[in-house]
Amino acid sequence: MTESKFLATLFPTHPDLLPIVEATRKKYDLTEVDPEGEAVSEIYLKDKLVSLKDFRRDIEKQVRNNLQIFPAKTVELYKTSKKYFGKPLDLTGFERVSKVNKEAIKSFHRLAEDMMGMYLRIGDTQIKNITNMLYIYILTGESAELPNDWLGRVASVPNNDGETLIIAMANQLSNPDVIVQQFREVYKKSFGAYRPKMTKVVVSTAYYMQLQRFGKPWNFIVEEYIRRNKFTPPRDRTSKRYLDFRRKHENNLRKRIQRTEKILDILIEDKNKK
């Protein structure tokens, strides 16, 4: 993406990251590397050889100590999640609380755990991405492309009931066409390729299916179908013309219900697979 390449080139000069680049170069006595020149292959700290793994770990530590590049609210949620995630629920002092309310508190705690886990995964991934980009830039002078999810993200996450939700996040720099395509791909992966189309006809047919399930007579349902759709029947209900009119709409309704029942079966089957 053009936006990604443009921002990636300027990324190491970000005011919250440039100090990390300069401090790392000074600490390991590294000079700027020309992207077309030779990359740094060996790193020394006071004449002692440092592994690339330890070098990367040092950069990550600096990034973690300088999270200003992220929005303040994001940092707050990440640090809070880091502090409390995985800690058991302490119900000391809630002895007089009813069992029902205790279960509600436990359910809320599980939901909070899910949310904190999500914030931690997102935060740790972003930190590692920044670390990797600075690591590559300092050693090679090359600007790695920004991760795709920095300009928008689509992900599937489980909710508290174990169902799958698909969340799309975008910012002002996001390409909406890319986000839509990513959403379709994640949706297909999560729920399968086929999804019945819920047309107005399908939705309206649910009313007649409802009447059937309530045990209403078929003749009543057909009359409701004719009335709600404002079909004008012949005045003489004993005429062949009226019988043909009624037979035509009765058959149409029966086919609509059959098609809609199949769609319902597909939806229920998808639900049970989750």
Say if residue 177's pLDDT is above 90.
Answer: no
Task: Encode pLDDT of 63-99 as tens digits.
Answer: 999 888 888 888 898 899 988 888 888 888 888 888 8
Mean pLDDT taken over the chain: 85
Of residues 19 and 179, more confidence is placed in 19
Distances in Å between the alpha carbon of 240 and those of 79, 124, 220, 233, 235? Answer: 78, 75, 20, 12, 11
- Collapse the DSSP code of 201 into the 3-class scheme (helix H, G, I; strand E, B; otherwise coil) and give the result: helix
* Model pLDDT for residues 27-69, shown as the tens digit of each residue: 999 998 888 888 888 999 988 999 999 999 999 999 999 888 8
Q: Which residues contact 159 (CB under 8 A, 6 or more apart)?
A: 114, 165
Name the percent of the chain lying above pLDDT 70.
Answer: 87
Q: Determine the pLDDT at residue 263.
A: 84
Which of the pair, 26 or 1, is modelled with greater confidence? 26
Domain residue limits, the chain: 2-148, 152-193, 200-273
Six-digit token string for 46 = 């006071």
pLDDT at residue 37, as a whole number = 82
Say if residues 144 and 131 touch (Cβ distance below 8 Å).
no
Predicted local distance difference test score (pLDDT) of residue 106: 86
Q: Which residues pair with 43 in a beta bridge?
A: 50
Residues 6 or more apart in contact with residue 117 via CB below 8 angstroms: 81, 85
* Nearest in space to 169 (alpha carbons), one of 208, 10, 157: 157
CB burial readout 116-138, b (16+ within 10 A) else e: bebbbebbeebbebbbebbbbbb
Does residue 3 carry a pLDDT above 70? no
Both tokens assigned to 239: 């005429």
Q: Is pLDDT of 131 > 50?
A: yes
Instruction: Output the pLDDT for position 51.
Output: 94
Q: For residue range 241-266, what is the model confidence (pLDDT) as tens digits?
A: 999 999 999 999 999 999 898 888 87
Q: Is the pLDDT of residue 274 over 50?
A: no
Name every residue whose Cβ is closer than 8 Å to that of residue 107 and which is 6 or more positions away in sequence: 160
The stretch 231-244 carries a mean pLDDT of: 92
pLDDT for residue 4: 67
Distance, in Å, from the CA atom of 17 to the CA atom of 224, rounded to the nearest integer, reads 69
Calculate what percentage of the chain has a pLDDT beyond 90: 36
Give 69 or 232, the one with higher predicted confidence: 232
Provide the pLDDT for residue 63. 93
HEC readout, 2-43: HHHHHHHHHHHHCCCCHHHHHHHHHHHCCCCCCCCCCCCCCE
What confidence category does residue 231 fall into, taking pLDDT thresholds of 50, 70 and 90?
Answer: very high
pLDDT at 194: 59
pLDDT for the residue numbered 161: 59
Query: What pLDDT does residue 109 have?
Result: 87
C-beta of residue 29 within 8 angstroms of C-beta of residue 133: no
The pLDDT of residue 148 is 59
Q: Give the closest residue to 55 by CA, choosing from 127, 139, 128, 126.
A: 139
Q: How far apart are CA 187 and CA 149, in angstroms?
A: 16
User: In the structure encoding, which two tokens stand for residue 168, read together?
Assistant: 């799309």
What pLDDT score does 193 carry?
A: 63
Is the predicted pLDDT of residue 230 greater than 50, yes or no? yes
In angstroms, the CA 253 to CA 218 distance is: 11
User: What does the block give as tokens for 145?
Assistant: 């492309």
The mean per-residue pLDDT over the stretch 215-233 comes to 94
